[in-house]
Amino acid sequence: MSVALTPSHLDRLPAGVEAPPFDRGKVSAGIAHIGVGAFHRAHLAIYTQRTLADADMASWGILGIHLLDHDRPLAEAFGAQDGLYSVSEYDPHGERRTHVVGAMVDYLHAPTAGAAAVLERLADPAIRIVSLTITEGGYLIDENGRFRLDDETVVHDLAHPNAPKGVFGFMVGALERRRAAGTPPFTVMSCDNLRHNGAQARKAVLAFATARSKELAAWIEAEVDFPNAMVDRITPATTPAVRDELNATTGLDDRAPVICEDFIQWVLEDRFRHGRPAWERHGVQIVDDVSPYEDAKIRLLNGSHQMLSYPAFLAGHRRVDVAVKDPLFQRYLTDFLDKDAGVWLTSLPGMDLDPYKKKLLERFGNASIADQLDRLCLDGGSKIPGFLGPTLRACLENGKDARRLAFLLAAFDRYVRVGHDDDGAAYPLREPNAMHLVQALIDSGSKDALIESEDLVGPLPAKDTRFRRQYETYVASMEERGVRATLERLDALVD
Q: Which amino acid is present at 184?
A: P
pLDDT for 466 equals 94
Q: Which amino acid is present at 354?
A: D
* Whether pLDDT at 272 is above 80: yes
**Structure-derived torsion over alpha carbons of residues 192, 193, 194, 196, reported in degrees to the nearest 10:** 60
pLDDT for 94 equals 93
Burial profile 149-180: b = 16 or more Cβ within 10 angstroms, e = fewer = eeeebbeebbeeeeebbbbbbbbbbbbbbbbe
Q: Cα–Cα distances in Å, from 277 out to 202, 282, 285?
A: 21, 10, 13
Q: What is the pLDDT of residues 305-324, one digit of tens each?
A: 999 999 999 999 999 999 99
pLDDT for 352 equals 84
pLDDT for 313 equals 98
**pLDDT, average across residues 390-396:** 94
pLDDT for 353 equals 87
Radius of gyration, alpha carbons of the chain: 23
**pLDDT, average across residues 178-189:** 98
pLDDT for 459 equals 83
**Higher-confidence position of 210 and 194:** 210
Task: Judge whether 199 and 291 are in contact, CB under 8 Å.
Answer: no
**pLDDT, average across residues 263-280:** 97
Sequence-distant (≥ 6) Cβ neighbours of residue 25 within 8 angstroms? none
Q: Cα–Cα distances in Å, from 147 out to 176, 196, 453?
A: 20, 15, 20
Task: Judge whether 14 and 252 are in contact, CB under 8 Å.
Answer: yes
Phi, psi of 268 (to 5 degrees): -135, 135
Q: What is the pLDDT of residues 335-357, one digit of tens each?
A: 999 999 999 987 677 778 889 99
Average pLDDT, the chain: 95
Percent of the chain with pLDDT over 70: 99
What HEC string does 172-232 produce? HHHHHHHHHHCCCCCEEEECCCCCCHHHHHHHHHHHHHHHHCHHHHHHHHHHCCCCCEEEE
Indicate the pairing of strand 265-269 with strand 3-4. unpaired
Give the DSSP per-residue string, 274-314: T----GGGGT-EEES--HHHHHHHIIIIIHHHHHHHHHHHH
**Higher-confidence position of 383 and 349:** 383
Q: How far apart are CA 134 and CA 142, in angstroms?
A: 15
pLDDT for 44 equals 98
| Gap between the terminal Cα atoms of the chain | 63
Please name every residue paired with 392 in a beta bridge, in sequence order, or none if there are none.
none
pLDDT for 180 equals 98
Q: What is the pLDDT of residues 418-452, one digit of tens each?
A: 999 999 999 999 998 888 889 999 999 898 999 99
Res. 489 pLDDT band, cuts 50 70 90: very high
Q: Which domains does the chain have, with CATH numbers?
A: 3-287 (3.40.50.720), 291-488 (1.10.1040.10)
Q: What is the pLDDT of residues 214-260, one digit of tens each?
A: 999 999 999 999 999 999 999 998 999 999 999 999 999 999 999 99
| SS3 state at 268 | strand
**Higher-confidence position of 89 and 349:** 89
